[in-house]
Structure formats: C-alpha cells, structure tokens
Amino acid sequence: MHEKTLIELREDIRSKKISSTELTKFYLDRIKKYDDKLNSFITITEERALERAKIADSEIAKGKVKKLTGIPIAQKDIFCTKGIKTTCGSKMLSNFISPYDATVIEKFNEEGSIMIGKTNMDEFAMGSSNETSYFGNVHNPWNLECVPGGSSGGSAASVAAGLAPCATGTDTGGSIRQPASLTGICGLKPTYGRVSRYGMIAFASSLDQAGIFAKTAEDCALLLSCISGYDSKDSTSSKKDVPDYLEECRNLNLPKKIGVPIEFLKDLDKGVAKVFQEALRELENMNCEIVDISLKSSKLGVSAYQVVAPAECSSNLSRYDGVRFGHRANNIKDISELYKKSRSEGFGNEVKRRILVGTYALSAGYYDAYYLKAQKIRSLISSEFNTAFNNVDLIIGPTAPDVAFKIGEKMNDPIAMYLSDVYTVSTNLAGLPAISIPMGLKNDLPLGLQIIGNHFQESQILSLARQFQEVTDWHKKQPSEIK
C-alpha cells in the first residue's frame, strides 16, 4: 500500500476500498515500526489524526469529498500548527505551541487532509543535510549511514520510506529539491508568491517558499492546487488565478524547447553526468529539442545567496530574545544578559554562524561591499534567466552535484556543505519555480533531474515531469533499507 501514489490512494478512499481511518492507521503503524531508524518525525499527532480521519469517513459516507479528504500528510515543523508543538528544529522553539495555523496548514485542513505529524528539519531551515536539527539528524532510507539532504530532510525521508504519502517542505535555497534528489522522490518549489508564507517560520523572507513532496508529478500537481493562491495575510502572495494544475499537467502539450545551462555541466561528477546524459536521451526520444544555453552568473549564486540569506535571517531571527516566546535562560541579572544567554543557549552553531555573517554583511562599513554586491548579482542572475526564457520553454539540469553523502562528512566544512546547493540557489534568487524528479541511480543511490520554468509556469514543469515519468520508472524504485 505504501507504494501507491497519492492519486491512487485518493481513488481507493473515494471508491471506499479503504477508509481514511484504516489508511491513517496504516501510516501511523509504519511510523511506529520504522521511524526509530530514520528519525524523520519530531512530533506524531496520532490522536488528532484518528479523530480527523473519523470525521473524514463520515463526510465520505455522505458523499462530500474535497480534494484531499481522508489523505494523511506529514507537515514540516516550520509551519505553525495551532495547539501543536512547532519547533523549527530548534531548541529555541522546542516547547513552542503555536496559537494559530499557517495558511498552508489551514488550506490542507480545508481540503480534508489528515496531518499525521511534524517532520524533522535543519534548525530554522539552515542546512543541506538535516544535521543541524536540535532533534538529531535524519537518516536516508536508501542508506541509513547517509544524510537525506536538507533542510526538509524529515519530510523527504518520510515520503521516500512510505511513512507518509506526501509532505510539505520549504525551499529558500534548495531545501525541497535537494532532499527530493537525495531520497529519490519528487519535490516542487513553486514560484515565489504562489503560496502564502503566513505562519511559515521565516528564514530569508525574499527567498522562502513553501512547497511539497510526493512520489509523482501528478501528485505534486494535486497538492499544489490545494495550497496556491492569494492570502491577505502575506502581501507578497500573488493574486494570479490558480489553475487546476492536475488537469493542466495532464493535458498540456509537451514543452518543445529545453535549455541545458553549459555552466551546470562544467566540472560535473562523471557518474552524475552519465545519468544526466541518459535523461537527456530520454527527453530527445520524447521529441524534445535540447539546446545549450548559458547562465554565466549562476556560478556566483551560492556566494550571493550566502550573503542575502544570512542578512535576512539576522533580521528575522532577532525576534527570539527570550522575552516574548521561545527559550528563556535562567539566573540572569539584567535584560541584556537575558538576550545574550537565551540566544546563546537556544540557537545552534549553524544558526549563530548565519546571524554573525548576516549582521556583518549589513553593517555600515561592509554593506556596499557585500550586501549591495550580492543584490547586484541577484539581479544579474534574474536577467540571465529572463533572456534564456526568451528562447527556451524550460531549463533542466541535475538537482544536486552528487548523491547523498555520509552523515558527518561535511559538517566541519561549511563551504563544501553550501556547495550542495550550487544548482538550486539561483532559482530562489530569481523567484522561479522548479521541481526535482528521480532520473536514475549512482552507486545504488538516487539522483534528481531539476526542471526550471519561467515565473508561474508550474503547469509546464509538471507536464514535462509527468511525461518523463510515463516513459521512465525511476520514481517507482523503493529505498532498500526500509521495506
């Protein structure tokens, strides 16, 4: 059953082959059986899930079904969930019970889905391996000695291992696509502004975007339809109409011209290049025209990102002061000691590193040299994408430079860790939508194909992804360590 797609499970529920209660119990049992090995959940919301499943079953009996009625879902612990612990992977919020639901959570509730738990993640979404979580690292279901990627590592691992049929994630520099690539599933980061950020704990507000994980492009399309749309509580959310993504991804013609940035292939690992070339051949067999393009400034993406994201995080994270909510230090003499001690105790090393870098980059003497320069590179990257999209419909490349690496391998080398995002950050800097879908294996570990579209071209991306999945079966491969 855990091998079924979301769309298949939805059919089973609608045709009463299985009840929502049975399905919810099935996934809760799998979590109990396997999550000791993976550590993909921080909180399991069993009681509440079963209550909601019962309600869903009575709705189904009355013939009232919404888009996701009765479907279990795992939520990244970055989304505020009313009455339920919302930790963001940090000691700072380890006891925080949110008084309200994030818009994404609200929308999933409205569509009748059942939250089964909150997933593990890098602290405040800062990381590429899920090793910065206060709640311990997550293991990759393909090889338990390897990382699942990050920051949405818990969500990715739980879907890959069949502990949930789908999950949410957030992507500031690659945190949906890179873990999707490393765990062999699909991960979609929508256009900036497509999905409301309200109630999604902020890391770098001009880059953060909510998105989803599932097994297939069609599943992602269905989920995207549920969470997209304008929200008066997020002024950066778009008023653009929300199409029926599932319908569009099933019916759109195949995008004809696809660009491959030559910069993405330079210095690419040979094993990854081989798998990517095979994916290209597959696309050519599907009658796509593949052309070389150049995104010259993309090589500066990680450097620009590592200035812009920390700068914004240093501002966003100033709200954790030990006064209003979150961790508060004991035995303090005065207010400044309260700030200092609460923040020193509440934040982990990576978060502190980002705050320091960000504060430095924004300080009077260095603003022009770092922050302004990074913003200029950001504009350059955006305009190069614009130029490229005048000539091609979509852009593709590998999602990550390599397969999952060993736990601990990059923890003492932040630069090596940051380079995990070399192919993903540019799209965040430009606000573009992109998906990662499985394209093959290297040393028995999965690799993702990234498909990038122009702003609000999610349907085109999903359509190509769906058609690729019609002629390949990489998305059907199951991880070896969790059966």
Residues that bind ligand GLN (CB under 6 A): 125-128, 151, 170-175, 203, 309, 421
Least CB distance to ligand GLN at residue 57 (A): 36
Active site residue 76: yes
Least CB distance to ligand GLN at residue 62 (A): 41
DSSP conformation letters of 313-356 = HHHHGGG-SSSSSS---SS-SSHHHHHHHHHHHHS-HHHHHHHH
Contacts of 184 (CB under 8 A, 6+ apart): 142, 160, 438, 446, 448, 474, 475, 477, 479
Asked if 201 and 124 count as a contact pair (C-beta separation under 8 A), the reply is yes
Q: Quick one: 165 or 173, whose CB is closer to ligand GLN?
A: 173
Least CB distance to ligand GLN at residue 309 (A): 5
Q: Where are the alpha helices (DSSP H) in 62-146?
A: 103-110
Q: Quick one: 128 or 196, whose CB is closer to ligand GLN?
A: 128
Asked if 456 and 433 count as a contact pair (C-beta separation under 8 A), the reply is yes
Beta bridge partners of 257: 289
Active site residue 15: no
Asked if 440 and 447 count as a contact pair (C-beta separation under 8 A), the reply is yes
Q: Quick one: 399 or 467, whose CB is closer to ligand GLN?
A: 399
Least CB distance to ligand GLN at residue 157 (A): 16
Catalytic choice (151, 228, 237, 298) = 151
CA distances from 126 to 266, 306, 310, 434 (A): 27, 11, 9, 20
Least CB distance to ligand GLN at residue 127 (A): 5
Phi, psi of 13 (to 5 degrees): -70, -45
Least CB distance to ligand GLN at residue 290 (A): 28
CA distances from 310 to 106, 316, 454 (A): 29, 10, 26
Contacts of 41 (CB under 8 A, 6+ apart): 31, 35, 74, 117, 118, 119, 120, 154, 158, 163
- C-alpha closest to that of 187 among 471, 465, 453: 465
Three-state DSSP class for residue 195:
strand
Least CB distance to ligand GLN at residue 483 (A): 30
Least CB distance to ligand GLN at residue 310 (A): 8
Q: Quick one: 211 or 440, whose CB is closer to ligand GLN?
A: 211
Q: Quick one: 182 or 293, whose CB is closer to ligand GLN?
A: 182
Catalytic choice (19, 20, 40, 76) = 76
Q: Quick one: 21 or 172, whose CB is closer to ligand GLN?
A: 172
Two tokens, residue 237: 């959310």
Order across the sheet with 289-293: list the strands.
Answer: 41-44, 114-119, 72-76, 167-170, 210-214, 186-189, 434-442, 445-452, 394-398, 257-261, 289-293
Q: Quick one: 260 or 400, whose CB is closer to ligand GLN?
A: 400
Two tokens, residue 455: 């702003």
Asked if 293 and 388 count as a contact pair (C-beta separation under 8 A), the reply is yes
Two tokens, residue 3: 């091998």
Catalytic choice (175, 228, 238, 314) = 175
Two tokens, residue 216: 């297939």
Asked if 398 and 440 count as a contact pair (C-beta separation under 8 A), the reply is no
Active site residue 129: no
Q: Quick one: 49 or 220, whose CB is closer to ligand GLN?
A: 220
Q: What are the residue numbers of the active site? A: 76, 151, 175
